[in-house]
Structure 1
Amino acid sequence: MASTKKRKVDAESRTFQEKWTDNYFFIMQKEKPLCLICLETISVLKVYNLKRHYNTKHANYNSYKDKLRTDKIQNLKKCVSAQEMLFRKHTDVADNIVRASFIVSEKIAKHSKPYSEGEFVKECLTAVTKVLCPEKSHEMEKISLSRWTITRRIDEMASDIKLSIKNIASKFEAFSIALDESTDSNDTAQLAIFIRGVDASFNCTEELLALQPMKNTTRGEDIFQEVKTVFTVFDLKWEKLCRISTDGAPSMIGPNIGVVVQIKTELSSNKINTEDLSVLHCIIHQQNLCAKSVKFAHVMGTITACINFIKSRALNHSQFQEFLADVLSDHEDLTFYCEVRWLSKGKMLKRFYDLRNEVSLFMDMKGKPIPELENKPWLCDLAFLVNLTTHLNELNAKLQSQGQMIHELYGHIKSFQNKLRLWESQLKEGNTYHFPTLVNHKDFDCESFANELNSLSREFNTRFCDFKNQEANLQIFSCPFDVDVELAPLSLQMELIELQENLVLKSKFNDIELLDFYKNYFPWDKFPKLTAFAEKNDSVWQHLQMRATFFKDELRKIQNQDENY
């Protein structure tokens, strides 16, 4: 027996007719007919159902004829619209109150403020609202900003961000990670894990993946277990990991149980080739280590002792500031030098050099003369150190500029190395043009300064050997039309030849940004090997400086648990 299909109302494509409004006082609302009189809805859109409802419950409305009937329908429609607007307004107000609570919570989290400050923020907002717009003050008072609400809001936002990163990471064709471990204000080791990945459409994502507290030891195997846990949480594929950037600590790059070694072991156990996995040292950290090789201990020791004598004693400090005001100095005070914030060294030296005469007079007044300030060779060393640290600070500022890719960062290093060689040769000839502070002095040992520059140059060559080894790959990625094909990997040579002969792509490459070229114009289907190569290089940690500045600027502001909870 053949089965019969039941008729479905949804499949009949019934439409509401305007005349039913005039005849039966019905309108369509949310795909169902609504009675304007009693506000009941009819489940099935059928003229018989509408007519029966009208004749059964509202037959008395037959007395409305012509213009009276039309006016009555319009009045009923206005009442329905007003009721809808009332509900919608209350809903919008409630949503805005919750949204405001999330906005304040986000600000508190971003600025690492105690969660209890939410109540203080609410008190301020309420007071301001009563002055500027009193009619909104009752809405402001409804915003919940207690510490427990702030905690829930931040947890919800963190969960949403984690889910978003997880969804984005699932589309990565290749990614790099950056690892850095440091200690916060509560003496708890914190492992920061950053990720930069690229999908098939060359969309790049760069995020702080996790900040893992490490309560016990911070050995290589401990850090690796944390990395492995994060990979599991975010469903990251080991085979798509192409580069690792570290802070160069033994626990990271140790030859036996370092994190890098253990990651390579994990890859090998999963039958993944580790030859293509490259390891880089944070570029700003390396630049800082190079800068520290410039000792000049006899200069730094005297200056540090002098500044500490002045600034570490409240009476001396206030007297020195008053002395500077009396002599109409261009500066109001000396600056401290902090080992962690290495940029402060150059600023401190420059300020001390500018105030050297005032400092000498003040120290004589205090019965603590500084004979070095009258020593010409020592002043020449100070002048040279002022200029050299200024050059190093300028390099550091270039490296910290946002939006740069790895080949651009390495380009700054290479240009500085060329400058060092130029300055060395010029100082040997007695040319101090690029050392304007040193120009004001005479009878100094140019050869010793040239030797210092030579030592610094060798330090740069040693420190940045890992970037030197990657230079060929960086050149292929950044300048594929100019690279020497014979020096390229054998697997890329054929596609490079075809690419370099494509004049249309070559002209477009010179007119737009590098990432825009690979994302919008590069023919992925014609050059599959170059595409895979570009994806791996595009996923290289673009902002290597983020790790160098993260703990310096943010980790010290991590909220104290006692304050927040």
Structure 2
Amino acid sequence: MDESTDVSDTSQLLVFVRGVDDDLNVTQELASVNSMHGTTTGADIFKELQQTLTKYNLDWNRLQGVTIDGGRNMSGTNIGVVGLIRKACESAGATVPIFLHCIIHQQALCVKHVDMSCVLKPVVSVVNFIRSRALNHRQFRSFLEEIESETVDLSYYTAVRWLSCGKVLLQFFKLRKEIKIFLAEKNHPETLLSDAEWLWKLAIFADVVTHVNNLNLKLQCKNNLICDLFEQINAFRAKLILLKSHMNECNFSHFTCCEKFSTETDERFPTIFAVKVIADLKLEFQKRFSDFDINSREIRLFQNPYDCNVGDVSSQFQMEIIDLQASDQIKNKYKEGNLIDFYKFLDAKEFPNLKQLAGQAAKGKWKNLKDKFRVELHKIPKKRSGSENDNYKSKWPFFDMMLFVKDSMLPSTTTGNLLKAPENTRRRLQENYTNLQLYGNENFDQVRSQPRLHTNSGENETVGKGSQYQPISQCDENYSMFRLDP
């Protein structure tokens, strides 16, 4: 589940369901998109969830795992969604599901916990000076082309984009000399670009966040199982231990920016600062992924049932593990490398508990809905006028259902002031279009004719010369605004 606010300040709750049948065939669907116009407490979200489950005739005893964001209304153990789901399962006599905080979201929050303001704020200020002024941007790009720079431009920093921080810091470090020259020519010098201590910090953050971005990309790979994600997180935590020891020794084997800058300056490397950055990041990863550590035994058992001591596993698996490890035929199937196919191969009557464990793990596969939607948006071809091709059809089955968040992901355009529609117009809109969201513009008072609506008789009434309305799904009768597009 994920709850987010759209451009109209309406909270949208996404309920994404993944199901696994007895043959371990995985089915995933966007079950519902619920608009929440009032409060968004745990009780409010739980109510919407209950309605979704009732709609699809799903009961609590089928629920094996829940993935949520880290908000208090979601993660609260008493009155949050987690607590309310737990109580509902206990009341229904069902097994309490596994609750996990969204893995990639946690990884992004770990980086935000590290204080990079001493470097990031000046970098963003300089980037905005160059990028926000068209003339500056053109001249800067021409300058880079003249000197045949490998890095041809600077990117804007966008806080909500997980990879943005690392990309901006790395580009800025690579272009630090060129930026210094360009700012001097524009009579807008930045003194920090001559400060070796600050440049060391820039190099440290650029290297550290690059390592984190590499982890993020691995977590986003398709068809990842929960054991794959757990493996990547554990590997990164081990890497942080290595990186911390290297920082203590001023060993830049895995810090390309620091290694490059060390050949250009006599300024002493800020060892204490660098070690603290790594230590803070390591501690945050340890805290945020503690729920994985709690379930690590089951995850490892699912990942490799041959690499476990029978005495260490739960009693319900022990007999099945002995039978499985003694079978050469099953072992050969495991060596083929595909876990899902391996568990499909197991006989459900002979290995019922292991099959159930595999079903729970398969439901834990991660899919980031909004990132996939953003990728699909960038595939839409542009017309010569710059507008989007209205005839584009995405092959992704959830594209149309996710269109309500499109405005929050793409640059917005000016639409004018919102004006309240007349009472008779609102009444007819409510009667004819229950799922219509309408806006207004500053020229509404000058419109001579009435809005275009489909009446019960099937005839069309005119909206205004050259104007049309645009229906948008997932809206309710409380909307009383409309837009007249020229």
Q: TM-score range by the shorter chain?
A: 0.7 to 0.9
1:496 aligned to 294, 306, 321, which one? 321
User: What is the deviation of 1:222?
Assistant: 0.9
Give the aligned partner of residue 291 of structure 1.
111
User: What is the deviation of 1:423?
Assistant: 1.2
Q: Pick closer, same or farther for the CA change 1:406–1:262 going to 2, 3 Å.
A: same
User: What is the deviation of 1:470?
Assistant: 1.0
Amino acid in structure 2 at the alignment position of 1:530 = L
Matches within 5 A, 1:135-534: 179-274=1-96, 277-442=97-262, 443-519=268-344, 521-534=345-358
User: What is the deviation of 1:312?
Assistant: 2.1
User: What is the deviation of 1:199?
Assistant: 1.0
Q: Pick closer, same or farther for the CA change 1:264–1:334 going to 2, 3 Å.
A: same
CA distance in 2, matches of 1:547, 1:254: 24
User: What is the deviation of 1:269?
Assistant: 2.1
Matches within 5 A, 1:48-59: none
Amino acid in structure 2 at the alignment position of 1:444 = F
Amino acid in structure 2 at the alignment position of 1:371 = T
Paired residues of 1:284 and 1:548 also in contact (CA < 8 A): no
What root-mean-square deviation, in Å, do the aligned CA atoms of Structure 1 and Structure 2 show?
2.0
Q: Pick closer, same or farther for the CA change 1:429–1:227 going to 2, 3 Å.
A: same
Q: Deviations over 1:52-95 (max 9, x none)?
A: xxxxxxxxxxxxxxxxxxxxxxxxxxxxxxxxxxxxxxxxxxxx
Paired residues of 1:282 and 1:548 also in contact (CA < 8 A): no
CA distance in 2, matches of 1:316, 1:558: 28
User: What is the deviation of 1:311?
Assistant: 2.0
CA distance in 2, matches of 1:312, 1:512: 51
Moved more, 378-387 or 315-324: 315-324
Give the aligned partner of residue 557 of structure 1.
406
CA distance in 1, matches of 2:156, 2:228: 32
User: What is the deviation of 1:458?
Assistant: 1.1
CA distance in 1, matches of 2:336, 2:95: 37
Give the aligned partner of residue 147 of structure 1.
none
User: What is the deviation of 1:187?
Assistant: 2.4
Q: Which structure is higher in helix share?
A: 1
Q: Pick closer, same or farther for the CA change 1:302–1:558 going to 2, 3 Å.
A: closer
Greater relative CO (CA pairs within 8 A, separation 6+)? 1
Paired residues of 2:246 and 2:252 also in contact (CA < 8 A): yes
User: What is the deviation of 1:326?
Assistant: 4.1
User: What is the deviation of 1:365?
Assistant: 2.1
Paired residues of 2:173 and 2:257 also in contact (CA < 8 A): no
Partner of 2:336: helix, strand, or coil?
coil
User: What is the deviation of 1:552?
Assistant: 5.9
Amino acid in structure 1 at the alignment position of 2:52 = V
- List runs of 5+ in structure 1 lacking aligned partners: 1-178
User: What is the deviation of 1:550?
Assistant: 5.8
CA distance in 2, matches of 1:272, 1:327: 67
Paired residues of 1:244 and 1:278 also in contact (CA < 8 A): yes
User: What is the deviation of 1:517?
Assistant: 1.3
Paired residues of 1:430 and 1:446 also in contact (CA < 8 A): yes
Partner of 2:78: helix, strand, or coil?
coil
User: What is the deviation of 1:425?
Assistant: 1.2
Q: Deviations over 1:172-192 (max 9, x none)?
A: xxxxxxx00111233221111
1:546 aligned to 347, 351, 368, which one? 368
User: What is the deviation of 1:483?
Assistant: 1.5
CA distance in 2, matches of 1:452, 1:404: 29
Moved more, 291-300 or 190-199: 291-300
User: Normalization by structure 1: what TM-score?
Assistant: 0.64
Paired residues of 1:346 and 1:389 also in contact (CA < 8 A): yes
Q: Pick closer, same or farther for the CA change 1:415–1:512 going to 2, 3 Å.
A: closer
Partner of 1:440: helix, strand, or coil?
helix
CA distance in 2, matches of 1:394, 1:190: 30
Paired residues of 1:380 and 1:444 also in contact (CA < 8 A): yes
Paired residues of 2:61 and 2:93 also in contact (CA < 8 A): no
CA distance in 2, matches of 1:461, 1:417: 8
Amino acid in structure 1 at the alignment position of 2:357 = F
User: What is the deviation of 1:246?
Assistant: 0.1
Q: Pick closer, same or farther for the CA change 1:485–1:558 going to 2, 3 Å.
A: farther
Paired residues of 1:182 and 1:551 also in contact (CA < 8 A): no
Amino acid in structure 2 at the alignment position of 1:564 = Q
User: What is the deviation of 1:228?
Assistant: 0.3
User: What is the deviation of 1:237?
Assistant: 1.7
Amino acid in structure 2 at the alignment position of 1:247 = D
CA distance in 2, matches of 1:529, 1:401: 28
CA distance in 2, matches of 1:421, 1:512: 30
User: Normalization by structure 2: what TM-score?
Assistant: 0.75
> How many residues of Structure 1 are paired with residues of Structure 2 in the alignment?
382
Amino acid in structure 2 at the alignment position of 1:183 = T
- List runs of 5+ in structure 2 lacking aligned partners: 263-267, 376-401, 409-435, 439-468, 472-486
CA distance in 1, matches of 2:307, 2:143: 61
User: What is the deviation of 1:370?
Assistant: 1.1
> Identity of counterpart residues, as a percentage?
37
CA distance in 2, matches of 1:550, 1:219: 28
Paired residues of 2:69 and 2:105 also in contact (CA < 8 A): yes
Larger radius of gyration: 1
